[in-house]
Amino acid sequence: MFAVVVYYSSLTRTVTGGPTEQQLGHLDVMPVLVLSEGAGPGAQVPSHLTRIPFSLISTSTNYTNKTVKGKVVLKGPLVFLAADNFILKTVIQEEESQPSASSQKLSINVVLFGALAKDFNQAVNQGDVVVASGFTVGKSPTFHKDKLHPCNLLLSEDDSCIYVSRLPPPPDPRSPPAIKRRSALSAEVSRTTKVPKYTYVRLSDLKAGSVVNVYGVVLFFKQPFKSRGTDFCSSLKITDQSNQKICCTVFCEKLDDHPKIFKIGDIVRMHRVKTKFFNDSITLINTFGFSVVTFDGAVGGAVEPRTSSRSFHFDQEDVQIVEELRSWAASQALLPPVPKIPLSAVQPSAYFDLTCQLLAKAPIDTTCTLLRVWDGTRCPHTLLKVIVEPNVTEGPSSFSTVRENLIANILVYDNHVEVARQLKPGAFLRIYNLRAIPGSSKVPGLTSSQSEEVDHLAFHLHGGTAYGRGIRVLPENSPDVQELKRVMEAVPDNDMDDELNDSALLEIWSTPPEYLEFFLDLDKNLTTKRIFFAGGGFLIQNSYQWTWWFVFPGNAVKTKCRQCSEAAVREPSAEGVKLIDEKIIAEALGVQLLQFVLLMKLELQDATDTLDVFLWRDGESFFGVSAEDIAANQEAQNSICQTMDSLCPPGGRTGERPWLDLCLTAYRAEDNGRRDQTCYQICDTIITKHPSTRSDPDPA
């Protein structure tokens, strides 16, 4: 038996089968909860309403007279927005009565506003089955995170109904649950007061000398910049359906209090701004109690308020105003048709806004900072290379060739240097009014006559805030960042044929193994193999990407030591030598040949603890095989595989693994102060193969 709760948000609705006004008493626009018993779920859902499956929900359909039904699988907290205004998110899962091709149950986010949220919080529990009507549908902003339905349902106190059914609790003769609930709810209703409404003044109706609330579409904006006074200053120009264009200035000490505007077309709502005449026009300036909320301006997108404010008013009316402004702006074509310009579409000499990820940065001088960024696309033009000292670089100082070819070096000047100082590598940015400056640079050939001028593009963010020049960190959940990530994820991280570029090689060569993960970004490319030793110890082999870094799961790093190589170009002195091999060429060019390095990371365990150790400098003597042979010689690879198999038989039990005596070196590793840790390397230890099955390494 079900107890059925019918929940009406407003008496102004006429619902077939619903309670009469007498039953409800005299109430004024109040959410009402009515109980009845003995009926099945949905029994009192008005007959003119028809249920639709979650799979048919999209933003392009009208849902008048439609319902959805689902079990409450998640009930979020009741969030206080303003006096007697609330928001609550819940997730409902489709019930099985709708046959579905997929056995997977669909779930959808539901957002409740106002008193509806408050009463839902009281009346509904996780596990209840609800039927909802009178909802609108928006794009779910959390779709990529929660993988639930791409849309969400928006329910307001004025338009929506929720019908709740649940299995009744065990009967309690002293206090029937239905009665109890009714009285609890009555008390709730008597406490409810009217939500304060804000009124918004059309921009054409502004009169000087008043304090108003306004909504508008952003036509122009400057990111907050430091004023000469105590505050940051934001500058924006907005318009609305009246077509009046109004300049606004916001002074706030805290950046968080400024409007979070990402692009032209965003929608901004400001509370408590004062109107003032300047240059024969009305302007707006923030005044006491000022607050601002912004929204994305894309038609059909989720209406998600962007604010750092912990308490702000936001209800269905705001959703409506935003949506109206969005459609109006789209119909007016008043926004300059600035398509998003990725690096792949950058035109020489053009100014553009770039959405990108910061990979590394380095100060050039007091007025200039280098930002190394990418957006996952490749600029067809040769890009300016900027060489900086690795030790002044924040973030990796070099990248794989594949990645390097996608990186744009941006020089930011003057006031932007301070902003750049705060940025962290990894951050997603939008850089406004970036200039792609064509230029040429000399690339030396073997002889001076072969030097050639090569065109390149340099990226500059000029000083000042004219044209909205500036840098803004975008939140990870913004649609543009989500899109950027999708593009970036599609870029192969490491081309199999790609070798690391010279500076990366240099980095690896001169870098202790404990830092290789940082430089090679091994987290993503690591092949991890766990091999158990006797006593439950185990060993991990890190397999760096290598053409064979497949045959052999160990790893080697091929590197050229630039420190040992001279930059000068020499004439080959190969006269009289018939066989010219790579060593002769290398000598002639003053280049130290690439070398192979064997590197493994092992995790050892004895009865007391585990320990991470590297096998690096003495790796060749440990196995009795040179790294060069391992790279080129199948026999050498087999030899190592055999040794490893004897130490940790594939699929074998821990009891079969031999105990090892190893000689370790402990050392302190530092990396420009970034990390400081004790590391261990196996040293002076060789593996000897006994004719018996016992495999004991002999410490030297």
Question: Residue 478, interface with DNA (CB under 7 A)?
Answer: no
Question: Residue 63, interface with DNA (CB under 7 A)?
Answer: no
Smallest gap from Cβ 228 to DNA, in A, equals 4
201 versus 364: smaller Cβ distance to DNA? 364
Size of the site for DNA (CB under 7 A): 36
* Residue of the chain from 233, 427, 663, 664 that contacts DNA (CB under 7 A): 233
CA distance 63 to 325: 22
Question: Is the separation of the CB atoms in 680 and 668 below 8 Å?
Answer: no
What binding mask, one character per residue, do residues 313-352 give for DNA by CB under 7 A, x or -?
--------------------------------------x-
Q: What's the Cα-to-Cα distance from 545 to each of 8, 524, 525, 528, rounded to whole Å?
A: 62, 11, 7, 12
* Residue of the chain from 249, 503, 595, 639 that contacts DNA (CB under 7 A): 249
* Type of residue numbered 668: R
Question: Residue 413, interface with DNA (CB under 7 A)?
Answer: yes
Smallest gap from Cβ 227 to DNA, in A, equals 4
Smallest gap from Cβ 226 to DNA, in A, equals 8
DSSP string, 347-404: PTT-EEEEEEEEEEEEEEETTEEEEEEE-SS--SSPBPP----GGG-BS-S--BHHHH
* Residue of the chain from 237, 340, 485, 529 that contacts DNA (CB under 7 A): 237
Question: Residue 300, interface with DNA (CB under 7 A)?
Answer: no
Question: Residue 460, interface with DNA (CB under 7 A)?
Answer: yes
* Residue of the chain from 367, 401, 501, 665 that contacts DNA (CB under 7 A): 367
Question: Residue 290, interface with DNA (CB under 7 A)?
Answer: no
**Listed ranges 30-38, 41-49, 466-474, 611-619: which one lies at the site for DNA (CB under 7 A):** 466-474
Task: List, in order, residues 6 or more apart from 182 with CB less than 8 Å away.
Answer: 33, 35
**Listed ranges 58-66, 271-279, 386-394, 517-525: which one lies at the site for DNA (CB under 7 A):** 271-279
Question: Is the separation of the CB atoms in 189 and 32 below 8 Å?
Answer: yes
Of 236, 229, 226, nearest in space to 270 by CA: 236
Question: Residue 466, interface with DNA (CB under 7 A)?
Answer: yes
* Residue of the chain from 283, 393, 397, 685 that contacts DNA (CB under 7 A): 283
Question: Residue 467, interface with DNA (CB under 7 A)?
Answer: yes
412 versus 500: smaller Cβ distance to DNA? 412
CA distance 272 to 292: 9
* Residue of the chain from 13, 105, 276, 340 that contacts DNA (CB under 7 A): 276
CA distance 608 to 624: 30
The pairing of strands 129-133 and 161-166 is antiparallel
Question: Residue 649, interface with DNA (CB under 7 A)?
Answer: no
231 versus 671: smaller Cβ distance to DNA? 231
Task: List, in order, residues 6 or more apart from 599 with CB less than 8 Å away.
Answer: 513, 516, 542, 544, 555, 556, 557, 614, 615, 616, 619
Question: Residue 378, interface with DNA (CB under 7 A)?
Answer: no
DSSP string, 269-336: EEEEEEEEEETTEEEEEEEEEEEEEEE---TTS----B---SS----HHHHHHHHHHHHHHHHHT-S-
SS (H, E, C) 572-585: CCCCCCCCCCHHHH
Question: Residue 282, interface with DNA (CB under 7 A)?
Answer: no
Smallest gap from Cβ 436 to DNA, in A, equals 11
* Residue of the chain from 299, 321, 437, 664 that contacts DNA (CB under 7 A): 437
**Listed ranges 56-64, 375-383, 465-473, 522-530: which one lies at the site for DNA (CB under 7 A):** 465-473
Smallest gap from Cβ 345 to DNA, in A, equals 17
321 versus 350: smaller Cβ distance to DNA? 350
CA distance 434 to 438: 13
**Listed ranges 463-471, 491-499, 529-537, 561-569: which one lies at the site for DNA (CB under 7 A):** 463-471
* Residue of the chain from 19, 46, 464, 553 that contacts DNA (CB under 7 A): 464
Eight-class DSSP state of 55: G
Using CB under 7 A as the binding rule, the residues of this chain from 414 to 433 that contact DNA are 414, 433
CA distance 342 to 224: 24
DSSP string, 81-150: EETTEEEEEEEEEE-TTS--SSSSPPEEEEEEEHHHHHHHHHH--TT-EEEEES-EEEE-TTHHHH-S-S
* Residue of the chain from 27, 79, 285, 364 that contacts DNA (CB under 7 A): 285
Question: Residue 272, interface with DNA (CB under 7 A)?
Answer: no
CA atoms within 13 A on the CB side of 150: 8
Question: Residue 363, interface with DNA (CB under 7 A)?
Answer: no
Counting beta carbons within 10 angstroms of the beta carbon of residue 176, is it exposed (0 to 12), middle (13 to 18) or buried (19 or more)? middle
CA distance 423 to 370: 12
**Listed ranges 176-184, 220-228, 312-320, 675-683: which one lies at the site for DNA (CB under 7 A):** 220-228
Residues making contact with DNA (CB under 7 A): 219-220, 222, 227-231, 233, 235, 237, 247, 249, 251, 276, 278-279, 283, 285, 351, 367-368, 413-414, 433, 435, 437, 460, 462-469
